[in-house]
Each structure stands twice: as C-alpha cells, then as structure tokens.
Structure 1
Amino acid sequence: MADTRPLCISRRSLLATGVAAGLAALPLSLLPAAAWAAHGPVVTILGDSITAGYGLPQAASLPIQLQAALEKLGVPCLVRGAGVSGDTTANGAGRMDFSIRPDTKVVVVELGGNDILQGVDPKVTRANLDHILTRLKERHMNVVLCGMRAPREIGAGYARDFDAIYPELARQHDVTLYPDLLAGVGRDPALHQPDAIHPNAKGVLIIAARLAPVVAKELSLAAA
C-alpha cells in the first residue's frame, strides 16, 4: 500500500555501494537460487508494501510467514519477496521482468491497493494486470492472482469496476484467483498498524495461513 519509504534494496543502491557489500546486506531469501536448492521450488510474491513488510520486522513479513505456513502444510519451498512500497500495478508491470527470477515456479501477484489510494482508473489497472499475467504466461510461470476490494466510500461505481478486474482477468488468463488478499483481516483495528492500512504481525499471520493452501495447490499443479 502507499508509503514514501521504500523498504526494498534497489539496483542503484547496490551499484553505489558495491556488489559485494550489497550482497552482504541482502536478506538470505534474496541470495542466489543455487544457495537454496534444498528448499524446494521458488514462489515469488510480486507486490507492494504488504509484501515488502512495511512497519514490521523482516521475520513478520508476508514472504517469511507464507513460507512458514507452507512448511506447516508439508510443502517445503522458498518464498521470495519482490515487494516495493508504494508500487502501483504500473510499477509492478514495469519491473516484473527483473524482479521475478527465472527459477520461479509460482508467482503470487499482490498489486492494486495503491491504485485504489491514487484513484487510478480501473481500466488502467486492468490493462496493467493483464500485461503482468500475459508476461507470466509467456515465461511459463503459474500464477495466484490476489484480488483487492475497493472501499465503497470512494464511490460505488469505482468500487464495482475495480472489484470486477480480478475475477475477470483470472477467467481470461485461466489463472488461480485468491478473491480477497485481506480476507479475515478487513478493517479490524486489532489486525492493522496505526495507519489503518497495513496489516500488523497478527494480520499477516492470518493472510499467510489463508493464502498458503491456495499456493500449495498451485505448486502441485506447477510440478505436474
């Protein structure tokens, strides 16, 4: 969701500080795939600050918690976060080719919240997500598309058009739909940070637990 303090390390910062220093600063989940061969297939979450773990310690972030939830289901894998705080669907579409590594088997697409906050025309959001899904299919990657729900306060017409994007694209591209990323979290203040936008650690646990079976099924399809 919207944020002015990106939490992900950029290519520019790696070049500025030196490749060796940059790699030393990276969390283990971002190290080369060869170092993680024993962890099974790779799941990449292409997302915004919810994926980046805004306001949370790394251990409480969605990629880490989703991996833990999958392991509890008996599905060993590496969940790699490709989240940039503040990213819209346009930003995600623009960086997906270098943010999603070739060893990825399943991509969880978690984008759209910032489109709502910025009032992006739903037609533009739809076109961006359509591009993302088309490109992922070209790269032979399985997809879990996470839906978003626009608040009715911003306008019933806008909310209706926005909410329809995800099921329509899931049908069009024949990909798995997870209808609502924030299902079970909603607007519960006990599950959100003080900004009332980003889930807290408890909220992330709920998201990861509900999302894990869907991702597990997609991994089994990718392996078939």
Structure 2
Amino acid sequence: MISSLAALGLALFSSAVAAQAQRPISVVAFGDSLTAGYQLPPGDAFPVKLQAALKAAGQNVAIENAGVSGDTTTGGLDRLDWAIGDGVDAVILALGANDALRGIDPAITRRNLETIIERLKARKIDVLLVGMLAPPNMGQDYGRAYNAIFPDLAAKHGLLLHPFFLEGVAATPALQLADGMHPNARGVDVMVAGTQPKVLELLAEVRRRRGG
C-alpha cells in the first residue's frame, strides 16, 4: 500500500513538473514608447516582433507588451505591481530613456530602477536590463552619471544586460520615424535582432529556475 501511494505521488509530481515545463514562458516587456510601438501598427511593436522571432527559433514563449509612451522610471515604479501580474516568469526592463530626455537627476533614475529590480527579484522574476545612453546635448557630466546606471545595476544584482536598446538604430534615419528618435518597423527589426541573444539567455535562466 505504501509503495503504491509513493508511486502515485511520484507520478503526480512528475506530471506537475512536465506541465510546468510545457507552459509557455511568460515574459513582460516593461518600458516606454520604444517598447509600446509608438506610431507603429500593433504588429510592428517590439514585443510582438520579438515573440515572433523567438517562436521561429523554437522558443515556447509569450511576451506581453507593457510599454507606455512617455513613461519614466518613476512612472514605471508607480505601475509596477499591477503591470507585472502573477505568473510572470521574466521581465525585459527597458525604462530610462525619458528620464534622460527630461534631464531627470541620474540618482533618481538609478534609485527607481534599483527598486524595480529588487521588487522583481523578491518575486522570483528573472530580469533582463536594457540600457540606454544619454543624449550628447545633456553634457559630459550628466552623460557619465546616467550611462553608468545600467552596467552598475546589472553587475550589482547579477542581471543580464543589453547595453543599448537603440544600438544600430540611433542616428540612422532610414531606421527611424520622422521625429528622428523612435524606430520605424525596420528599426524594430534591428532592435529585435540586437536583443534576441540576451533574451535567449533570459529564457534559459527561467528554465533552469523551473528545473527543466
């Protein structure tokens, strides 16, 4: 009788593990207009194209678009709890661009991002930190303080880091909208290709945590 119960328990445990392994990895892309898909058709937004690219690569993943145009790190912190719901496995944290555009004190940006990171880690959510660079017109002192935020936080908290979200897109008019700031559909493709290697590492971290 005991051996039968043990066998049943093992079977149920194995079934639960298998179901967990088969569940799509739930990722939230948490950012601003660069994430939301500013002035683009819904199908051209970064999270949508990233999910398509990952699925084409054989990844079982679902990516939610939690980008809000104009959002700062302060706004992101304010909406964190309701934007990142239960059952989320990982977050692509891509906030901070608007802080630099508005000249917000880098100490505030750093503090907000660190609080977001700490709260996500407390919930056992894996994080990929996506960095930005300060516009040159903000000056060298501001740029040094701001640009150091992302690598510093990634190193301190042991996070994966994609150093610059707009790598290959910034200052390339053919990949931008007319405003010279936001990516067009082709620009989003470049962003997806640039971030995908780190996102694959993020998904691998989730699978390790799941034990499968």
Match of 1:113 in 2: 97
Where 1:104 maps in the other structure, the secondary structure is coil
Measured after TM superposition, the shift of residue 90 of structure 1 is 0.4
1:204 aligns with one of 178, 188, 200: 188
Where 2:86 maps in the other structure, the secondary structure is coil
**Compared with structure 1, are the counterparts of its residues 48 and 186 closer, same or farther at alpha carbon in structure 2 (3 Å cutoff)?**
same
The superposition leaves residues 58-100 of structure 1 with CA deviations (integer Å, 9 ceiling, x where unpaired) of: 0000010010111122212111011111100000011011101
Match of 2:112 in 1: 128
Q: TM-score, normalised by structure 1?
A: 0.81
1:140 corresponds to which letter in structure 2? K
1:77 aligns with 2:32: no
In 2, Cα distance between equivalents of 1:78 and 1:163: 30
Measured after TM superposition, the shift of residue 218 of structure 1 is 1.0
Match of 1:222 in 2: 206
Q: TM-score, normalised by structure 2?
A: 0.86
The unaligned stretches of length 5 or more in structure 2 are 1-20
In 2, Cα distance between equivalents of 1:57 and 1:184: 21
Q: Where in structure 1 do 4 or more consecutive aligned residues deviate above 3 Å?
A: none
**Compared with structure 1, are the counterparts of its residues 213 and 39 closer, same or farther at alpha carbon in structure 2 (3 Å cutoff)?**
farther
In 2, Cα distance between equivalents of 1:76 and 1:54: 27
Where 2:89 maps in the other structure, the secondary structure is strand
In 2, Cα distance between equivalents of 1:208 and 1:69: 8
1:135 corresponds to which letter in structure 2? R
Measured after TM superposition, the shift of residue 126 of structure 1 is 0.3
In 2, Cα distance between equivalents of 1:39 and 1:53: 27
In 1, Cα distance between equivalents of 2:152 and 2:162: 13
1:151 aligns with one of 121, 135, 138: 135
Report which of the two structures shows the higher radius of gyration computed on alpha carbons. 2
2:146 aligns with one of 162, 185, 189: 162
In 2, Cα distance between equivalents of 1:196 and 1:164: 24
Measured after TM superposition, the shift of residue 223 of structure 1 is 1.1
1:128 corresponds to which letter in structure 2? N
